[in-house]
Amino acid sequence: MTHPVRPSHEFRLSYEFFPPKSPEMEEQLWQAVDHLALFEPEFVSVTYGAGGTTKRPTFATVERLISKTDLPTASHLTCVDADRDETHEVITELRAMGVKHIVALRGDPSSGVGTAYVPHPHGYENAAALVAALKAEGDFEISVSAYPEKHPESRDVKADIEMLKRKADAGADRALTQFFFDNDVFERYLEQVRKAGISIPVVPGIMPIQNLTQLKRFASRCGAGIPAFLDARFEGLDDKPEERAKVAAEVAAEQIQDLMRRGLDEFHLYTMNRSPLVSAVLTNLGRLPKQKAQTGAAA
């Protein structure tokens, strides 16, 4: 299938941030927000820990983004270790803050990634049930997760796609994928998703590589593959941070360019609360920041 060729800077963009855990990390986050806002994302999202373990930091970050910036802001929400009343209390608080977009997730087990998930006996058993509850609450925009290499706990890809269909049928507006590095894997996954009758946008999640060794450890826990070509691209650069950053920006930009050639025009970037690498990726794609104006995020 052929797709029209568009300029590399013409794509829609969103970011993921996470709530900071220290004053130093807070300063880094707001510097990143202030800088990356200049590339005009469609929205930004803020993560939420299992069982609400980051509830207050998430709320503080979301509230500041809404009150101090013009960035459309989505809050993640999980149903791990929470009964339905607790979940609805969180939804009510988010609505009062002005949140109109929720990234609805089951969430990782509070005992850690790789351990068995046990639904709360009086809670929502999975993300599809959470999406349905959010739809019953009103007019939230809802994003959900998708896994091109399947969720680590899914029996197989078919079962994984069946869960995505349940989330879409419950009212999800889009799916944001786990990061991946093999675009052929993503394209095959998207074909299966469409064959299953799922029509919502499936937005590729892009992870610019801050540290390949750390990424490998993280990827092994969440089921994402690390292709051999990445080792070759980063070989010999461990003690050369400037060259390593240049290669990392090129790798992510090349991945996005290839996905655009395959017909994709929207991307969700995992920022790790750092702006230099993400902005380098966007600049490589010809996406230039607007004239700098104080967003208020760092005020």
Flag whether 1 is in a domain.
Answer: no
Give the pLDDT confidence of 11-27 residue by residue, as tens digits: 999 999 999 999 999 99
What residues contact 14, with CB distance under 8 A and at least 6 apart? 41, 42, 43, 44, 45, 176, 203, 266, 267, 268, 269
- Joined together, the tokens standing for residue 277 give 């690498």
User: What total number of domains does the chain contain?
Assistant: 1
Flag whether 126 is in a domain.
Answer: yes
Give the pLDDT confidence of 145-157 residue by residue, as tens digits: 999 998 888 889 9
Flag whether 258 is in a domain.
Answer: yes
- Name which of 37, 118, 80, 56 is nearest 291 in CA terms: 37
Flag whether 296 is in a domain.
Answer: no
Q: Which of 16, 89, 93, 254 is catalytic?
A: 16
Q: Say how many C-beta atoms besides its own lie within 10 A of residue 37's C-beta.
A: 23
Measured over all CA atoms, what is the biggest interatomic distance in the chain, rounded to whole angstroms?
54
Domain that holds residue 212: 12-284
Flag whether 298 is in a domain.
Answer: no
CATH number at residue 44: 3.20.20.220
pLDDT the model gives residue 121: 64
Give the pLDDT confidence of 106-139 residue by residue, as tens digits: 876 554 555 556 666 677 889 999 999 999 987 8
Whether 16 is a known active-site residue: answer: yes
Which alpha helices (DSSP H) does the chain contain, by range? 23-36, 55-68, 84-97, 127-137, 157-170, 183-195, 212-222, 228-234, 241-261, 276-284
pLDDT the model gives residue 20: 94
Flag whether 2 is in a domain.
Answer: no
Q: Say how many C-beta atoms besides its own lie within 10 A of residue 104's C-beta.
A: 30
* pLDDT (average), residues 188-203: 98
* pLDDT (average), residues 33-54: 89
CA 24 distance to own-chain centroid: 23
